[in-house]
């Protein structure tokens, strides 16, 4: 597994039910290096993985069943981004969130 510039591998959990979106994000991070991407296909699995894997950051599709913007904000969501994903913009947000954690 590749490491980032500082030698640290950051663990990200991506909760996404769209296989194409998951595949593209995984490819981007594989090329970039320095990140381990975990994935969950639904909110319940995402919650279980968040508890067991303790990721550094969670990316979540807000259009999953049982998930919406208000619930995400109430539970501590820090930021939002829109689809289609613009990887450079998303990466800046991820790096800012990780720097503030």
pLDDT by position in tens, the chain (length 101) = 445 556 789 999 999 989 999 999 999 999 999 999 999 998 889 889 999 999 999 998 877 666 676 777 676 778 878 788 899 999 999 999 999 87
- Residue 1 in domain: no
- Residue 24 in domain: yes
CATH of the domain at 47: 3.40.50.2300
Structure confidence at residue 1 (pLDDT):
42
pTM of the model: 0.81
CA dihedral 80, 86, 87, 92 (to 10 degrees): -50
- Residue 2 in domain: no
Q: Give the tokens for residue 97.
A: 């969130």
Structure confidence at residue 83 (pLDDT):
81
- Residue 40 in domain: yes
- Residue 3 in domain: no
Q: Please state the domain count of the chain.
A: 1
Structure confidence at residue 66 (pLDDT):
61
Residue given tokens 């820090």 in the structure block: 78
Domain that holds residue 42: 10-99
Structure confidence at residue 2 (pLDDT):
44
Structure confidence at residue 79 (pLDDT):
80
């Amino acid at each position: 597994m590749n490491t980032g510039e500082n030698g640290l591998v950051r663990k990200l959990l991506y909760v996404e039910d769209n296989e194409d979106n998951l595949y593209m994000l995984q490819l981007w991070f594989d090329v970039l290096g320095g990140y381990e991407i975990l994935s969950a296909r639904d909110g319940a699995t995402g919650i279980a993985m968040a508890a067991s894997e303790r990721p550094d950051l969670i990316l979540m599709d807000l259009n999953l069943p049982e998930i919406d913007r208000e619930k995400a904000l109430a539970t501590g969501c820090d930021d939002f981004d829109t689809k289609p994903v613009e990887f450079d913009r998303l990466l800046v947000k991820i790096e800012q969130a990780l720097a503030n954690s």
